[in-house]
């Protein structure tokens, strides 16, 4: 594009901005509108002058995108500009649909690997398997590309082909695969089933369109096939949220029609809204346990918070993320959109669980948590005390598993992933997903296989010792204590063989999950992991003990972990 064309486009843009500014001016009945009009004019003239006179060629589109992003970054992380080029990703966030091959991918050295093809979608139907290394897409090398870059070229309009050159473990020659893209609709409920006698389980991974219907269908199916159903576990762990109306409709499955689920309050009057249950519930009496953790946010917090406030069920796990903000989308010109925070939401007790204050920033631009002095107590329907300003606190807390340093290292180096690929190559089939267990003999093979592999890690004890050494040097004690510090360093230096044995249980579990996924995909992986899940076990225990369940809802139970 030559400079004349650029200048011409800039002039058109400036005219458009000027017209917008004049419209604002025409309605500038307040100082606020005058400020908007004035600053639009300043920005338009500055943008024109820089792009016209700057010594080197500029990229007006990139400059404008950076300016917009920088401006919105000063508000909150959820107010975003969505250009036309990113609408496919936005569509996926709201509908769970996109055009593509239907597979998770991960970085593997200089290339990208298929980590989990979705069962029944193009990648799996076209013969791609976990562990396949993508070398080229449509004849172009992807060496050095990251997952986002490769994801964009794999996505596209349904019924269009994409040609992949892949390298597969156990094959001497590279393989060419032509995959026809489809409309991919990721299931909101990838797994539901029975986890114990009388206890059903439903896993919801996102709140896109039809999330509440998917959960409803799963619960009805569980009730139909299990007449002795005593309780339901709804798993919202790691669920980042999504559509507000789906959160309302999901809560509606368990509460009376007409019950207020959530209300919103914003600067604009149209966001002073109350959202009530509009439909007949599926079940008003079936005991409910909702699993949450730090990754449960937004719509997940509306559901767990509403069920807790209405004393309709119990919440088990860890404190949730603390996002009490509502976003809506506004259409912009050139098929772009603005996702903007328009309100805060309040659950039935009247509390808002927003944990961070984005409206008041520190001098360095950071934001702080809502201070304890401003946190207010509210009451549930039964009179139990709950608090605002920091996410939803579980009724029964379960300490999260902290992964060992060696497991983190093995995962990050893709060594567990690679061993599962080899295992599948050498074992055409395994037993059921739920019952599969890795033998000690096979685990020892894994440890042997690791001997010539590169992986390392630093334990917290080693980090603390290094910090102690620095302080000793600064305070001039190191010369006297150097021998003792070196001896201590030798004692605490990790031994990989020892750690592989010491953390055998958790490493085996991770290996089993990865291996099961090779045969039974995501559904099988979830089914296998549930049998060893501490939160699921705790929720099951409570649902089977109706006396304990009732005491929790009546406020007569004090969790020793929450005191």
Q: Does residue 79 belong to any structural domain of this protein? A: no
Q: Which residues contact 483 (CB under 8 A, 6 or more apart)?
A: none
Please give the pLDDT value at position 31. 66
SS3 304: helix
Q: Are residues 43 and 17 in the same domain?
A: yes
The DSSP result for 427-480, as a single string, is -S--S-TTT----HHHHHHHHHHGGGS------HHHHHHHHHHHHHHHTT-HHH
Tell me, yes or no, whether 218 and 331 share the same domain: yes
Distance CA 373, CA 20 (A): 44
Q: Looking at 131, 162, 185, which one is the last position of a domain? A: 185
Any idea of the CA torsion for 180, 184, 186, 190, to the nearest 10 degrees? -40
Query: By CB neighbour count within 10 A (0-12 exposed, 13-18 middle, 19+ buried), where does 208 fall?
Result: buried
Residues 208 and 283 reside in one and the same domain: yes
Residues 327 and 220 in one domain: yes
- 418: closest CA among 514, 497, 522? 514
Q: Of 185, 208, 237, which closes a domain?
A: 185
Confidence at residue 485, expressed as pLDDT on a 0 to 100 scale:
73
- pLDDT averaged per 10 residues, the chain (length 563): 48 45 45 83 93 93 91 91 82 79 94 94 96 96 95 92 96 96 91 96 96 97 96 97 96 97 92 94 97 97 98 97 93 91 96 87 72 89 93 95 92 95 95 93 96 83 78 80 75 78 95 96 93 94 96 85 54
* Whether residues 508 and 488 fall in one domain: no
CATH number at residue 387: 3.90.226.10
Same domain for 286 and 178: no
Structure token digits, residue 1: 């594009």
Tell me, yes or no, whether 550 lies in a domain: no
Q: Which positions are annotated as active-site residues?
A: 298, 309, 323
Given a contact cutoff of 8 angstroms between Cβ atoms, the answer to whether 65 and 59 are in contact is: no
Q: Is residue 289 included in any domain, yes or no?
A: yes
Identify how many contiguous H helices and E strands the chain contains and give both numbers: 18, 23
**Inter-axis angle of helices 440-449 and 415-426, nearest 10:** 120
Examine the domain organization and report whether 337 and 375 are in the same domain: yes
In a domain, 560, yes or no: no
Q: Note the pLDDT of residue 484.
A: 76
Q: Is 167 in the same domain as 245?
A: no
pLDDT computed for residue 334 by the predictor: 87
Distance separating alpha carbons of residues 394 and 383, to the nearest angstrom:
16
Q: Is residue 549 part of a domain?
A: no
Count Cβ atoms within 10 A of the Cβ of residue 68 and give its class: 0-12 exposed, 13-18 middle, 19 or more buried.
middle
DSSP per residue, 499-548: HHHHTHHHHHHHHHHHHHHHHHHHHHHHHHHHTT-HHHHHHHHHHT-HHH
Same domain as 294, residue 200: yes
Q: Does one domain contain both 108 and 10? A: no
Same domain, 199 and 264: yes
Please indicate, yes or no, if residue 556 is contained in any of the structural domains: no
What CA–CA distance (Å, rounded) separates 178 from 166? 11
- Its pTM stands at 0.84
In a domain, 320, yes or no: yes
Instruction: Domain of residue 415: give its range.
Output: 405-457+495-541
Residue 22 lies in a domain: yes
Calculated CA dihedral for residues 33, 38, 39, 44, nearest 10 degrees: 130
Cα atoms in the 13 Å half-sphere on the side-chain side of 101: 28
- Name the domain count of the chain: 5
528 and 452 housed in the same domain: yes
**C-beta pairs of 108-114 under 8 Å, 24+ apart in sequence:** 108/133, 108/414, 108/417, 110/143, 110/144, 111/135, 111/142, 111/143, 112/142, 112/145, 112/147, 112/150, 113/414, 113/417, 114/166
Which of 360, 394, 428 is the C-terminal boundary of a domain?
394
């Amino acid at each position: 594009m030559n400079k004349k064309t650029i200048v011409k486009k800039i002039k058109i843009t400036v005219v458009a901005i000027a017209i917008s500014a004049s419209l604002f001016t025409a309605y500038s009945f307040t100082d606020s509108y005058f400020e908007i009009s004035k600053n639009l004019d300043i920005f338009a003239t500055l943008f024109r002058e820089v792009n016209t006179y700057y010594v080197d060629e500029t990229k007006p589109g990139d400059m404008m995108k950076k300016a917009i992003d920088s401006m919105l970054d000063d508000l909150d992380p959820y107010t975003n500009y969505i250009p036309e080029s990113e609408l496919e990703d936005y569509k996926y966030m709201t509908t769970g649909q996109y055009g593509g091959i239907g597979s998770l991918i991960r970085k593997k050295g200089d290339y990208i690997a298929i980590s989990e093809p979705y069962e029944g979608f193009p990648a799996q139907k076209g013969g791609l398997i976990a562990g396949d290394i993508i070398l080229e897409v449509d004849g172009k090398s992807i060496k050095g590309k990251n997952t986002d870059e490769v994801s964009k070229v794999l996505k596209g309009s349904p019924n269009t082909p994409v040609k992949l050159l892949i390298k597969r473990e156990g094959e001497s020659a590279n393989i060419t695969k032509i995959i026809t893209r489809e409309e991919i609709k990721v299931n909101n409920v990838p797994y539901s089933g029975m986890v114990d006698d009388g206890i059903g389980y439903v896993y919801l991974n996102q709140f896109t369109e039809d999330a509440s219907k998917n959960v409803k269908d799963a619960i009805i199916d569980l009730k139909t096939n299990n007449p002795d159903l005593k309780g339901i576990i709804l798993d919202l762990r790691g669920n980042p949220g999504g559509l507000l109306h789906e959160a309302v409709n999901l809560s509606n499955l368990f509460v009376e029609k007409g019950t207020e689920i959530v209300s919103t309050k914003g600067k604009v009057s149209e966001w002073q809204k109350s959202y009530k249950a509009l439909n007949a519930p599926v079940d008003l009496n079936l005991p409910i346990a909702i699993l949450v953790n730090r990754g449960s946010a937004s719509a997940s917090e509306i559901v767990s918070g509403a069920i807790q406030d209405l004393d309709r069920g119990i919440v088990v796990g860890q404190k949730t993320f603390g996002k009490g903000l509502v976003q809506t989308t506004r259409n912009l010109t050139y098929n772009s959109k603005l996702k903007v925070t328009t309100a805060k939401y309040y659950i039935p007790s009247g509390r808002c669980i927003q944990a961070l204050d984005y409206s008041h920033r520190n001098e360095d631009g950071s934001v702080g948590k809502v201070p304890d002095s401003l946190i207010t107590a509210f009451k549930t329907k039964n009179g139990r005390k709950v608090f605002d300003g920091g996410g939803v606190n579980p009724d029964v807390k379960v300490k999260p598993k902290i992964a060992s340093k060696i497991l983190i290292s093995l995962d990050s180096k893709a060594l567990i992933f690679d061993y599962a690929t080899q295992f599948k190559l050498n074992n055409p089939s395994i037993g059921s997903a739920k019952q599969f267990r890795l033998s000690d003999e096979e685990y020892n093979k894994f440890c042997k296989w690791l001997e010539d592999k590169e992986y390392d890690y630093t334990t917290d004890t080693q980090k603390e010792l290094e910090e102690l050494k620095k302080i000793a040097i600064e305070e001039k004690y190191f010369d006297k204590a150097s021998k003792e510090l070196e001896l201590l360093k030798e004692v605490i230096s990790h031994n990989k063989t020892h750690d592989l044995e010491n953390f055998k249980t958790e490493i085996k579990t991770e290996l089993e999950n990865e291996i099961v996924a090779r045969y039974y995909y995501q559904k099988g992986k979830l089914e296998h992991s549930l049998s060893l899940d501490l939160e699921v076990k705790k929720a099951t225990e409570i649902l089977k003990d109706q006396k304990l369940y009732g005491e929790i809802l009546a406020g007569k139970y004090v969790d020793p972990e929450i005191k």
